[in-house]
Structure 1
Amino acid sequence: MNNSREQNLARLREDSYIVEPDQKFEVDYFKHEDAVGIARLYYAVYGENFPVDHVYDPDELVRINKGDDLIQIVGRTPKGDVVGLYALFQAAPNPKIMEGGSWIVHPDYRGTSLGLRMVSRFHHRPPEDLEFDGFFGQSVCDHLTSQKLCKKFKALPCAFEVESMPPRSGEEESYGYISLLDGMIVLRNSSDEVVLPFRYDSQLRDIYEWMGLNRSFLPDTFGAEELASAGETNLSVKLLDEAGLVKVEVESIGSDFAECLAGVLREHQGMHKYHIYLPLWCYSISVAVEAARAEGFFFGGLLPLWYERDALLLQKLAGTPDFSKPSLLVKESKALLNMVEADWNDLHG
């Protein structure tokens, strides 16, 4: 039986392990003896605030690494200390989309080449037995370091998540929630038909253009009358309690969409943030967008191949966002922020 989050955190508190600075290090794929060091690294960098429980649980880290759902690359010293981490994991309904993240370097090793070497180890030499449609990643927007890495590896910005990440430990008052820039490296693109919602036609065309993705754009022919004869909505809900985030993944839009969405919001009141992922192949997409906006949702961006086909991201925030805070590197990410801010202002104007 796995330890609880609190049990794992209590062990780390009592451990009080200190990593010796200025050691040499190597970059390698995960070994089971790295698990304790990874938990210590998360604790050293994030304190007790990281929103995923298993990062503090060495036994669970060993178990997950045995499958294909998690690939971890570590920076390891001769003493066995883990001083850096880069991971790929499944986060989308499409199992062939791997998310790159958990890019962490111990504070005493941030002036080294470790961060770049870990990412290069995977993207220059990915495991030959695994086939992917693409790599998804999220860059924090309180600094530019991870965005520079995405630019280097040609991950193109596709969506902007306003104030989605909890504050860093010790920065709750000084900065607050952190916005995330979503990027994608598409490896196996195929031409597909996309139904563009009326409200976001121009925004989505712009994103498709700068990502270089070939799509056939179809007009949305469904109105409320046609939707009334459609089937039921198919959706799933995922909670990230520590981040205060509710994710609603919609794979089909039926006549009951507005009712289903309202039910999700009633059941999960008081959360910091809500995301909806809408299928961009459904002719009822425009009706769904307007129903979501009636509940306070605004534009987030495009997620190519999210369901093996493309998805539209919409978001709802409990408070009023500060659009002046994000630091952005490239013109496309700045264009995304402008789209998101304009739609939020239109909704709340």
Structure 2
Amino acid sequence: MSIEIRLMQAADAPRVVDLYRAVYGDDYPVKSVYDPAAILAAQEAGDFYRILAFADDQLVGQSAIYRSGTPNPDLYESGQGIVLPAYRNQGVIEQLLRIGQDTVYPSIGIHQLWGEAVCNHVFMQKMITKLGWESTGIEIDLMPAAAYTKEKSSNGRVSTVVAFKVADPEMRNVHLPAAYEELLAWLYQPLSLPRRFVRGTPSLPTDNATAVDEQVFSDAAVARLTFTSLGSDFSNCLQSRERTAVAQGCTVLQAFLDLGDPAVGAAATTLRGQGYFLGGLLPCWYGGDGLLLQKILHTPNIEGIHLDGERSHQILDRILADQATVGPSAA
């Protein structure tokens, strides 16, 4: 089978919509994928790049990278890998990912990638390992079950393995919260990043206000709270944002903290007292690195998590062990 792989062009946008519908029906949680004009505008703005695979002029697959709300605009998420059922298990997605990370993206100045490999199967996990990515966390129950109804590939919500392929030559300070000092040091081991572990402050600063960017994905029941500044009002800010998210139907709450901030340990202690537990290490998330903590307000689909490799199993075991040590999960 001969496959042509190239960056998306303007005329391809309607065919990209057809690709999503062929695989997900109308249930993909990000509704902009059904709008050809929005698809094209995002690429022209440099926010979303798609690489497409064609077989005999038929669009059979895609991979993509996109800015997904991280504080670091140079860090792109790799995801939305899609291949038509008739063309799976033929190396299409591997070609898309490899050509993208090795050739296309570096040619336009992109060197920092991250992604979420779904856990209802291990195919993508195996793929990113072959491509040299490092797994650093697991997002519990991130994706709604409805996204997998058409293919009948999950009986519940779907978790994801968080993985990175990043280059960052700058020496940066990392403040390890006391509760995660050993665990984060372990997660850093396979990463080729110049980092200096330092001691943070024991309390939140009184002369600073908390700032947070909130993303609510009500269709997916997920809220993401990215804290960009920490202050003594952190607990009140957290509770206020939680109430807003829960009122919109969110049952998966994620908090992102900057490991470059000396007060990160104090913020992590507050979060743990409110039922948040480890999600993972996030290299280059803020330019410097980040920490993900997560809170689940429903019974999670742990039995539906399928993992590839001993390290991923160890990450999950440590996450679940941490969940058992935190405060009550009620919002």
1:87 is paired with a residue whose SS is strand
Q: Which residue of 1 aligns with 2:270?
A: 291
Letter paired with 2:255: I
1:72 is paired with a residue whose SS is strand
Q: Which residue of 1 aligns with 2:112?
A: 134
- Asked whether 1:302 is paired with 2:281, we answer yes
Q: How far off is 1:205 after superposition?
A: 0.6
Q: Of 167, 177, 189, which aligns to 1:197?
A: 177
- Asked whether 1:234 is paired with 2:205, we answer no
Contact 1:132 1:188 in 2 (8 A): no
- Deviation track 1:239-267 (CA, whole Å, cap 9, x = no partner) reads 12221111111011100000000000111
Gaps of 5+ in 1: 1-22
Q: Of 62, 65, 76, which aligns to 1:88?
A: 65
- Deviation track 1:73-116 (CA, whole Å, cap 9, x = no partner) reads 111244x4321010011122211111111110011111323222
Identity of aligned residues (%): 29
Q: How far off is 1:322 after superposition?
A: 3.7
Contact 1:50 1:242 in 2 (8 A): no
Q: How far off is 1:72 after superposition?
A: 0.6
Contact 1:208 1:214 in 2 (8 A): no
Q: How far off is 1:55 after superposition?
A: 0.6
- How far apart, CA to CA, are the structure 2 residues paired with 1:56 and 1:143? 25
Q: How far off is 1:348 after superposition?
A: 6.5
Letter paired with 2:67: Q
- How far apart, CA to CA, are the structure 2 residues paired with 1:209 and 1:97? 21
Question: Measured at CA, do residues 338 and 101 of structure 1 come closer, stay the same or move farther in structure 2, by a change above 3 Å?
Answer: same
1:49 is paired with a residue whose SS is coil
Contact 2:61 2:82 in 1 (8 A): yes
Contact 1:154 1:185 in 2 (8 A): yes
Letter paired with 2:198: L
Length-normalised TM-score, structure 1 = 0.87
- 1:1-349 equivalence runs, <5 A: 25-78=3-56, 80-91=57-68, 92-127=70-105, 129-167=107-145, 168-170=148-150, 175-223=155-203, 227=204, 229-269=206-246, 270-347=249-326
Contact 1:296 1:316 in 2 (8 A): yes
Q: How far off is 1:124 after superposition?
A: 2.4
Letter paired with 2:275: G
Question: Measured at CA, do residues 253 and 172 of structure 1 come closer, stay the same or move farther in structure 2, by a change above 3 Å?
Answer: farther
Contact 1:195 1:282 in 2 (8 A): yes
Length-normalised TM-score, structure 2 = 0.92
Runs (4+) of structure 1 exceeding 3 A deviation are 170-174
Q: How far off is 1:283 after superposition?
A: 2.2
Larger-Rg structure: 1
Q: How far off is 1:170 after superposition?
A: 4.2
- Deviation track 1:192-237 (CA, whole Å, cap 9, x = no partner) reads 11111111111101011122433211122323xxx36231011110
- How far apart, CA to CA, are the structure 1 residues paired with 2:152 and 2:272? 29
Q: How far off is 1:191 after superposition?
A: 1.8
Aligned residues: 323
1:126 is paired with a residue whose SS is helix
- How far apart, CA to CA, are the structure 2 residues paired with 1:152 and 1:76? 23
- How far apart, CA to CA, are the structure 2 residues paired with 1:37 and 1:276? 36
Q: CA RMSD in A?
A: 2.0
Letter paired with 1:222: P
Moved more, 37-46 or 253-262: 37-46
